[in-house]
Amino acid sequence: MLVLNENHPARAELQKQTAVIDPETAQHADIRALRLGVINLMPVMNETENDILRCISHSVLQIEPIWIRSATREQSGRHTSLEHVENFYQTLEEATREQGLDGLIVTGAPIERLDFEDVDYWDELRQVMDYAQRHVYCTMYLCWAAMAAAFHFYRIPKVMYPEKLTGLFRLKNVFEDDNPFTRGMNPEVAICQSRYTGLDYEAMKREIEQKHLLPLFDSDDRAEVLGGEPLGVTVFASSDLRAVYNLGHLEYHAATIDQEVQRDRQKALHYPVENYYLEAKARSGIPPMTWRADRSLFFSNFLNVAYEQMNMNPNKKHRSFVLLPSYEEAHAKYRAEDAGLPTRPPVPVNAF
Protein backbone atom coordinates (compact mmCIF):
# COMPACT_ATOMS: atom_id res chain seq x y z
CA MET A 1 0.00 0.00 0.00
CA LEU A 2 1.31 3.43 -0.94
CA VAL A 3 0.83 6.71 0.87
CA LEU A 4 0.78 9.37 -1.84
CA ASN A 5 -0.52 12.92 -2.14
CA GLU A 6 -3.81 12.95 -4.02
CA ASN A 7 -2.42 15.39 -6.59
CA HIS A 8 0.74 13.40 -7.40
CA PRO A 9 0.82 12.74 -11.19
CA ALA A 10 1.50 9.00 -10.76
CA ARG A 11 -1.38 8.36 -8.36
CA ALA A 12 -4.09 7.53 -10.94
CA GLU A 13 -1.93 4.95 -12.71
CA LEU A 14 -0.71 3.36 -9.47
CA GLN A 15 -4.27 2.93 -8.19
CA LYS A 16 -4.72 0.34 -10.95
CA GLN A 17 -1.94 -1.76 -9.38
CA THR A 18 -2.19 -1.26 -5.63
CA ALA A 19 -4.06 0.52 -2.85
CA VAL A 20 -3.13 4.20 -2.57
CA ILE A 21 -4.15 6.43 0.34
CA ASP A 22 -3.39 10.04 1.20
CA PRO A 23 -1.07 11.04 4.08
CA GLU A 24 -3.91 12.30 6.30
CA THR A 25 -5.69 8.94 6.14
CA ALA A 26 -2.41 7.13 6.87
CA GLN A 27 -1.99 9.09 10.11
CA HIS A 28 -5.09 7.39 11.53
CA ALA A 29 -4.04 3.84 10.63
CA ASP A 30 -3.35 1.31 13.41
CA ILE A 31 0.20 0.75 12.11
CA ARG A 32 2.21 3.74 11.00
CA ALA A 33 3.55 3.82 7.46
CA LEU A 34 7.21 3.11 6.83
CA ARG A 35 8.76 6.45 5.88
CA LEU A 36 10.93 5.87 2.81
CA GLY A 37 13.10 8.79 1.77
CA VAL A 38 14.06 8.94 -1.92
CA ILE A 39 16.95 11.28 -2.72
CA ASN A 40 16.39 11.86 -6.41
CA LEU A 41 19.55 13.02 -8.19
CA MET A 42 18.34 12.31 -11.73
CA PRO A 43 17.61 15.21 -14.11
CA VAL A 44 14.19 13.90 -15.25
CA MET A 45 12.92 13.47 -11.72
CA ASN A 46 9.35 12.37 -12.46
CA GLU A 47 10.56 9.44 -14.62
CA THR A 48 12.66 8.19 -11.72
CA GLU A 49 9.73 8.70 -9.35
CA ASN A 50 7.58 6.46 -11.53
CA ASP A 51 10.28 3.78 -11.66
CA ILE A 52 10.69 3.78 -7.86
CA LEU A 53 6.95 3.79 -7.24
CA ARG A 54 6.47 0.76 -9.50
CA CYS A 55 9.20 -1.06 -7.57
CA ILE A 56 7.70 -0.49 -4.13
CA SER A 57 4.01 -0.65 -5.04
CA HIS A 58 3.71 -4.42 -4.48
CA SER A 59 4.99 -4.44 -0.92
CA VAL A 60 2.50 -5.66 1.69
CA LEU A 61 3.76 -2.89 3.97
CA GLN A 62 2.28 0.58 4.08
CA ILE A 63 4.94 2.79 2.45
CA GLU A 64 5.10 6.57 2.47
CA PRO A 65 7.66 7.81 -0.09
CA ILE A 66 9.27 11.12 0.91
CA TRP A 67 10.76 12.86 -2.13
CA ILE A 68 14.04 14.58 -1.31
CA ARG A 69 16.15 16.95 -3.40
CA SER A 70 19.68 18.18 -2.92
CA ALA A 71 19.90 21.35 -0.87
CA THR A 72 23.11 22.54 -2.53
CA ARG A 73 22.30 21.67 -6.15
CA GLU A 74 20.35 24.38 -7.91
CA GLN A 75 17.30 23.16 -9.86
CA SER A 76 17.34 24.56 -13.38
CA GLY A 77 13.84 23.49 -14.45
CA ARG A 78 15.31 22.24 -17.73
CA HIS A 79 14.33 18.58 -17.32
CA THR A 80 11.84 18.75 -14.45
CA SER A 81 9.50 21.65 -13.86
CA LEU A 82 10.32 23.83 -10.88
CA GLU A 83 6.63 23.66 -9.95
CA HIS A 84 6.84 19.87 -9.63
CA VAL A 85 9.94 20.13 -7.44
CA GLU A 86 8.31 22.82 -5.30
CA ASN A 87 5.10 20.79 -4.83
CA PHE A 88 6.54 17.37 -4.04
CA TYR A 89 10.15 17.71 -2.84
CA GLN A 90 11.85 18.65 0.40
CA THR A 91 15.44 18.88 1.51
CA LEU A 92 16.61 16.19 3.93
CA GLU A 93 16.62 18.80 6.69
CA GLU A 94 12.95 19.52 6.06
CA ALA A 95 12.03 15.84 5.68
CA THR A 96 13.53 14.86 9.05
CA ARG A 97 12.66 17.94 11.08
CA GLU A 98 9.73 16.29 12.89
CA GLN A 99 10.05 12.60 12.00
CA GLY A 100 12.92 10.33 11.07
CA LEU A 101 13.27 8.11 8.02
CA ASP A 102 13.00 4.33 8.25
CA GLY A 103 14.44 3.59 4.83
CA LEU A 104 16.32 5.59 2.22
CA ILE A 105 16.97 5.21 -1.51
CA VAL A 106 19.65 7.33 -3.18
CA THR A 107 19.39 7.31 -6.97
CA GLY A 108 22.11 7.47 -9.55
CA ALA A 109 23.08 10.58 -11.47
CA PRO A 110 24.50 11.09 -15.00
CA ILE A 111 27.83 12.41 -13.67
CA GLU A 112 29.94 9.26 -13.59
CA ARG A 113 32.78 10.73 -15.63
CA LEU A 114 33.36 13.43 -13.02
CA ASP A 115 35.66 12.79 -10.08
CA PHE A 116 33.60 12.57 -6.90
CA GLU A 117 35.28 15.67 -5.50
CA ASP A 118 34.27 17.65 -8.61
CA VAL A 119 30.54 17.05 -8.08
CA ASP A 120 29.05 20.28 -6.76
CA TYR A 121 26.96 18.53 -4.08
CA TRP A 122 29.63 15.99 -3.03
CA ASP A 123 30.14 17.49 0.45
CA GLU A 124 26.39 17.40 1.04
CA LEU A 125 26.10 13.80 -0.15
CA ARG A 126 28.91 12.69 2.18
CA GLN A 127 27.03 14.22 5.10
CA VAL A 128 23.82 12.51 3.94
CA MET A 129 25.58 9.12 3.77
CA ASP A 130 27.03 9.58 7.26
CA TYR A 131 23.58 10.50 8.54
CA ALA A 132 21.99 7.45 6.89
CA GLN A 133 24.69 5.19 8.31
CA ARG A 134 23.68 6.18 11.83
CA HIS A 135 20.02 7.06 11.74
CA VAL A 136 18.27 5.17 8.91
CA TYR A 137 17.45 1.49 9.32
CA CYS A 138 18.42 0.52 5.78
CA THR A 139 19.66 2.45 2.73
CA MET A 140 19.71 1.44 -0.93
CA TYR A 141 22.28 3.08 -3.23
CA LEU A 142 21.69 2.87 -6.99
CA CYS A 143 24.20 3.11 -9.87
CA TRP A 144 26.41 6.22 -9.39
CA ALA A 145 25.24 6.57 -5.78
CA ALA A 146 26.38 2.97 -5.12
CA MET A 147 29.85 3.86 -6.43
CA ALA A 148 29.89 7.05 -4.37
CA ALA A 149 28.95 5.19 -1.18
CA ALA A 150 31.48 2.40 -1.85
CA PHE A 151 34.18 5.04 -2.22
CA HIS A 152 33.04 7.03 0.82
CA PHE A 153 32.73 4.13 3.26
CA TYR A 154 35.26 1.61 1.91
CA ARG A 155 37.59 3.68 -0.27
CA ILE A 156 36.83 1.51 -3.32
CA PRO A 157 37.76 3.69 -6.32
CA LYS A 158 35.69 3.76 -9.48
CA VAL A 159 37.18 2.74 -12.81
CA MET A 160 36.43 4.49 -16.10
CA TYR A 161 35.38 2.23 -19.00
CA PRO A 162 36.48 2.96 -22.60
CA GLU A 163 32.82 3.08 -23.64
CA LYS A 164 29.45 3.02 -21.98
CA LEU A 165 28.41 -0.37 -20.58
CA THR A 166 24.84 -0.80 -21.76
CA GLY A 167 22.58 -3.80 -21.99
CA LEU A 168 20.94 -6.67 -20.17
CA PHE A 169 23.22 -9.07 -18.29
CA ARG A 170 22.63 -12.29 -16.36
CA LEU A 171 23.62 -12.28 -12.71
CA LYS A 172 23.84 -15.24 -10.35
CA ASN A 173 22.20 -15.09 -6.96
CA VAL A 174 25.10 -15.79 -4.57
CA PHE A 175 23.04 -16.46 -1.45
CA GLU A 176 19.56 -17.23 -2.77
CA ASP A 177 17.35 -17.65 0.33
CA ASP A 178 20.22 -17.32 2.80
CA ASN A 179 20.25 -13.51 2.60
CA PRO A 180 17.27 -11.28 3.43
CA PHE A 181 17.91 -9.03 0.41
CA THR A 182 17.69 -11.90 -2.10
CA ARG A 183 15.15 -14.12 -0.36
CA GLY A 184 12.74 -15.72 -2.83
CA MET A 185 14.56 -14.39 -5.90
CA ASN A 186 15.53 -16.61 -8.82
CA PRO A 187 18.97 -18.28 -8.94
CA GLU A 188 19.69 -16.19 -12.06
CA VAL A 189 18.43 -12.65 -12.58
CA ALA A 190 18.63 -10.32 -15.59
CA ILE A 191 19.60 -6.76 -14.65
CA CYS A 192 20.02 -3.75 -16.95
CA GLN A 193 23.37 -1.95 -16.88
CA SER A 194 23.86 1.61 -18.09
CA ARG A 195 27.09 3.24 -16.90
CA TYR A 196 30.48 4.54 -17.92
CA THR A 197 32.25 3.32 -14.80
CA GLY A 198 32.57 0.39 -12.43
CA LEU A 199 34.37 -0.37 -9.18
CA ASP A 200 38.00 -1.40 -8.85
CA TYR A 201 38.03 -5.21 -8.82
CA GLU A 202 40.94 -5.70 -6.39
CA ALA A 203 39.59 -3.19 -3.87
CA MET A 204 36.14 -4.79 -4.04
CA LYS A 205 37.65 -8.26 -3.62
CA ARG A 206 39.57 -7.04 -0.55
CA GLU A 207 36.42 -5.78 1.17
CA ILE A 208 34.55 -9.01 0.37
CA GLU A 209 37.39 -11.20 1.66
CA GLN A 210 37.53 -9.15 4.86
CA LYS A 211 33.76 -9.68 5.17
CA HIS A 212 33.02 -5.96 5.20
CA LEU A 213 30.84 -6.46 2.12
CA LEU A 214 28.64 -9.36 1.04
CA PRO A 215 28.31 -10.11 -2.70
CA LEU A 216 24.66 -10.66 -3.62
CA PHE A 217 24.73 -10.97 -7.42
CA ASP A 218 27.79 -11.95 -9.45
CA SER A 219 27.96 -12.29 -13.23
CA ASP A 220 30.04 -14.46 -15.55
CA ASP A 221 28.56 -12.65 -18.55
CA ARG A 222 31.40 -11.14 -20.55
CA ALA A 223 31.11 -7.56 -21.73
CA GLU A 224 32.58 -6.20 -24.96
CA VAL A 225 33.22 -2.86 -23.25
CA LEU A 226 35.29 -4.67 -20.60
CA GLY A 227 37.48 -6.30 -23.22
CA GLY A 228 35.63 -9.59 -22.93
CA GLU A 229 36.07 -9.77 -19.14
CA PRO A 230 33.15 -10.87 -16.93
CA LEU A 231 30.92 -8.27 -15.36
CA GLY A 232 31.60 -9.53 -11.82
CA VAL A 233 29.84 -8.45 -8.63
CA THR A 234 27.32 -5.69 -9.29
CA VAL A 235 24.96 -6.01 -6.31
CA PHE A 236 26.32 -6.23 -2.76
CA ALA A 237 25.46 -5.31 0.83
CA SER A 238 27.21 -4.19 3.98
CA SER A 239 27.83 -7.09 6.37
CA ASP A 240 25.47 -5.59 8.97
CA LEU A 241 22.68 -5.42 6.34
CA ARG A 242 22.22 -1.69 6.91
CA ALA A 243 23.00 -0.82 3.28
CA VAL A 244 22.58 -2.46 -0.13
CA TYR A 245 24.34 -1.33 -3.31
CA ASN A 246 23.25 -1.95 -6.92
CA LEU A 247 25.47 -0.77 -9.78
CA GLY A 248 22.77 -1.74 -12.26
CA HIS A 249 19.11 -0.90 -12.71
CA LEU A 250 16.50 -3.37 -11.53
CA GLU A 251 14.13 -0.40 -11.41
CA TYR A 252 14.21 0.02 -15.22
CA HIS A 253 11.20 -0.98 -17.27
CA ALA A 254 11.57 -2.83 -20.56
CA ALA A 255 11.98 0.21 -22.85
CA THR A 256 14.28 2.33 -20.67
CA ILE A 257 17.58 1.25 -22.27
CA ASP A 258 16.14 1.94 -25.73
CA GLN A 259 15.04 5.42 -24.66
CA GLU A 260 18.57 6.13 -23.41
CA VAL A 261 20.13 4.81 -26.62
CA GLN A 262 17.88 7.02 -28.76
CA ARG A 263 18.76 10.09 -26.67
CA ASP A 264 22.46 9.27 -26.94
CA ARG A 265 22.16 8.82 -30.71
CA GLN A 266 20.92 12.40 -30.94
CA LYS A 267 24.11 13.42 -29.11
CA ALA A 268 26.19 11.42 -31.63
CA LEU A 269 27.25 8.94 -28.93
CA HIS A 270 27.93 5.38 -30.09
CA TYR A 271 28.58 2.30 -27.97
CA PRO A 272 27.70 -1.40 -28.05
CA VAL A 273 24.32 -2.38 -26.62
CA GLU A 274 24.79 -5.91 -25.35
CA ASN A 275 22.26 -8.75 -24.87
CA TYR A 276 19.32 -6.38 -25.10
CA TYR A 277 17.61 -5.85 -28.45
CA LEU A 278 15.78 -8.77 -30.06
CA GLU A 279 17.36 -7.65 -33.37
CA ALA A 280 20.86 -6.71 -32.23
CA LYS A 281 22.23 -5.40 -35.54
CA ALA A 282 19.19 -3.24 -36.24
CA ARG A 283 18.94 -2.21 -32.60
CA SER A 284 15.24 -2.91 -32.64
CA GLY A 285 12.84 -5.01 -30.63
CA ILE A 286 12.32 -4.32 -26.93
CA PRO A 287 13.09 -7.40 -24.80
CA PRO A 288 10.43 -8.98 -22.60
CA MET A 289 10.69 -7.71 -19.06
CA THR A 290 12.00 -10.93 -17.53
CA TRP A 291 13.19 -9.10 -14.41
CA ARG A 292 9.78 -7.74 -13.33
CA ALA A 293 9.13 -10.28 -10.53
CA ASP A 294 12.71 -10.12 -9.24
CA ARG A 295 12.53 -6.33 -9.23
CA SER A 296 9.46 -6.37 -6.99
CA LEU A 297 11.01 -8.98 -4.69
CA PHE A 298 14.31 -7.14 -4.39
CA PHE A 299 12.67 -3.88 -3.37
CA SER A 300 10.16 -5.64 -1.11
CA ASN A 301 13.03 -7.47 0.60
CA PHE A 302 14.83 -4.16 1.13
CA LEU A 303 11.71 -2.65 2.70
CA ASN A 304 11.26 -5.74 4.88
CA VAL A 305 14.84 -5.40 6.17
CA ALA A 306 14.13 -1.78 7.12
CA TYR A 307 10.84 -2.77 8.76
CA GLU A 308 12.46 -5.59 10.76
CA GLN A 309 15.18 -3.22 11.98
CA MET A 310 12.51 -0.70 12.91
CA ASN A 311 10.70 -3.27 15.07
CA MET A 312 13.97 -4.41 16.66
CA ASN A 313 14.79 -0.83 17.67
CA PRO A 314 11.45 0.68 18.77
CA ASN A 315 13.16 3.17 21.11
CA LYS A 316 15.51 4.65 18.54
CA LYS A 317 16.01 8.32 19.25
CA HIS A 318 14.96 10.51 16.35
CA ARG A 319 17.58 12.89 15.09
CA SER A 320 17.12 15.58 12.46
CA PHE A 321 19.62 15.93 9.66
CA VAL A 322 21.53 19.21 9.74
CA LEU A 323 23.51 20.21 6.66
CA LEU A 324 26.82 21.68 7.74
CA PRO A 325 28.67 24.16 5.53
CA SER A 326 31.71 21.98 4.94
CA TYR A 327 32.60 18.30 5.08
CA GLU A 328 35.40 19.01 7.56
CA GLU A 329 32.86 20.28 10.10
CA ALA A 330 30.50 17.38 9.47
CA HIS A 331 33.40 14.95 9.70
CA ALA A 332 34.44 16.26 13.12
CA LYS A 333 30.87 16.48 14.42
CA TYR A 334 29.80 12.95 13.47
CA ARG A 335 33.05 11.26 14.53
CA ALA A 336 33.00 12.95 17.95
CA GLU A 337 29.63 11.35 18.69
CA ASP A 338 30.98 7.80 18.46
CA ALA A 339 34.02 7.28 20.66
CA GLY A 340 36.75 5.33 18.92
CA LEU A 341 35.09 5.43 15.49
CA PRO A 342 37.89 5.30 12.90
CA THR A 343 38.18 7.99 10.25
CA ARG A 344 37.09 5.58 7.54
CA PRO A 345 34.97 2.86 9.16
CA PRO A 346 35.32 -0.35 7.12
CA VAL A 347 31.85 -1.37 8.27
CA PRO A 348 28.99 1.08 8.97
CA VAL A 349 28.42 1.46 12.70
CA ASN A 350 25.05 0.60 14.19
CA ALA A 351 24.26 3.62 16.35
CA PHE A 352 20.73 2.60 17.38
**pLDDT tens digits for range 164-205:** 999 999 999 998 888 999 999 999 999 999 999 999 999 999
Taking Cα atoms as reference points, which of 332, 134, 113, 327 lies closest to residue 240?
A: 134
**191 belongs to a structural domain:** yes
**345 belongs to a structural domain:** no
Active-site residue (options: 251, 253, 260, 274): 251
**132 belongs to a structural domain:** yes
Distance between CA atoms of 128 and 105, rounded to whole angstroms?
A: 11
pLDDT over 80 (residue 315): no
User: 35-50: per-residue pLDDT in tens?
Assistant: 999 999 988 888 888 8
pLDDT at 27: 67
pLDDT at 232: 94
**113 belongs to a structural domain:** yes
Distance between CA atoms of 342 and 334, rounded to whole angstroms?
A: 11
> Structurally, how many domains does the chain consist of?
1
**233 belongs to a structural domain:** yes
Q: Is 251 annotated as catalytic?
A: yes
**186 belongs to a structural domain:** yes
The CATH number of the domain holding residue 110 is 3.40.50.880
Active-site residue (options: 55, 138, 143, 192): 143
**352 belongs to a structural domain:** no
Q: Which domain holds residue 182?
A: 2-316
Residues 210 and 270 sit within 8 Å (Cβ to Cβ): no
* b/e sequence 112-149, b meaning 16+ C-beta within 10 Å: beeebeebebbbbbbbbbbbbbbbbbbbbbbbbbbbbb
**120 belongs to a structural domain:** yes
User: 225-245: per-residue pLDDT in tens?
Assistant: 999 999 999 999 999 999 999
Active-site residue (options: 8, 249, 260, 274): 249
Q: Is 143 annotated as catalytic?
A: yes
Residues 104 and 136 sit within 8 Å (Cβ to Cβ): yes
